[in-house]
Amino acid sequence: MTTQLKETPPSDTSSINLEAEFQASNIKEVLDKLDRELIGLKPVKTRIRETAALLLVDRVRKKLDLTAGAPSLHMSFTGNPGTGKTTVAQRMSEILHRLGYVREGHLVSVTRDDLVGQYIGHTAPKTKEVIKKAMGGVLFIDEAYYLYKPENERDYGAESIEILLQVMENNRDDLVVILAGYKDRMDKFFRSNPGMRSRIAHHIDFPDYSPDELVAIAKLMLAAQNYRLSAEAEKAFGEYIRLRMKMEHFANARSVRNALDRARLRQANRLFEGAKKNLSRTDLITIEAEDIRASRVFVEGAVDLDGDEGASRELSEESV
């Protein structure tokens, strides 16, 4: 007669080197990349590190047969545009992949238009196709509150929400959903959709950047494209940011990127139209103060400083 040996469970004296597990997971590389990519956002980075630590410890516990059920990893990112929500979602997908919580670690970023159809029978196939692409990774739904339009009885967003709820519950081990948008609108969305709220375990709020942080972001963006601000241009850009933040349609780092694109256009035109035809490397890489101060913000924004927002309403993100 064959005797079947039972596997002996780990004893209370068993130990695992957590630091070795941390190094083996390679998540430090992702966390360091997040620090390099994003200026400021200390509360957000702290939450991401805490979440990574929780998942690492959870994985270690499994090795000692200390199971506590699959953790709920669905998240909500709230904040104004240009505060780094998409970038953090990308890094979060890498962390989840390296710790073994998703198979592939890719990010699929969508909005309502990618999920909701315009006629009967169109929404379910669209939503399911997006979910299929995201399976094994992270589904990032920007401006998620637009999925719910109670004022329109013929809206099909509710159908997409129902499908998402089922997948978020039944496929927690193969898909993480991150909902994103303005905080006040997301709060209203969750109040109207308790099923969705109950499935979101992690709520992370992204603060606006300070003017100094936005200038630092600008310098990083320019360096990545082999440009730099002269000392006077850096001072001018700081003034630009403080004026621009008082106007409508300001979008943090997104507005900074748009402003730099226009500054580069002005620099190129200045060099092309200038008398100096033999250009040095310094000429080609340097944004000067005049390239910044040519913005209409310095003319029309001054009115806004006195509390008159009329001028700022006439400015679009493309014109400043």
pLDDT value of position 72: 83
Residue 313 in this model has a pLDDT that exceeds 60: no
CATH code 3.40.640.10 for 18-206: no
Residue 32 in this model has a pLDDT that exceeds 50: yes
Residue 85 φ/ψ, nearest 5 degrees: -65, -45
pLDDT value of position 25: 87
pLDDT value of position 307: 36
pLDDT value of position 11: 56
Assign 320 a pLDDT band (cuts: 50, 70, 90): low
Instruction: Report residue 267 CA to chain centroid gap.
Output: 30
Assign 30 a pLDDT band (cuts: 50, 70, 90): very high
Q: Domain spans of the chain?
A: 18-206, 211-313
pTM of the model: 0.83
For the chain, what is the mean pLDDT? Answer: 88
The CATH class of 211-313 is mainly alpha
139-187: pLDDT as tens digits:
999 999 999 887 776 788 999 999 999 999 999 889 999 999 999 999 9
Rounded CA-CA distance 211/245 in Å is 8
pLDDT value of position 91: 95
pLDDT-wise least confident of 10-14, 21-25, 78-82, 214-218? 10-14
281-297: pLDDT as tens digits:
999 999 999 999 999 99
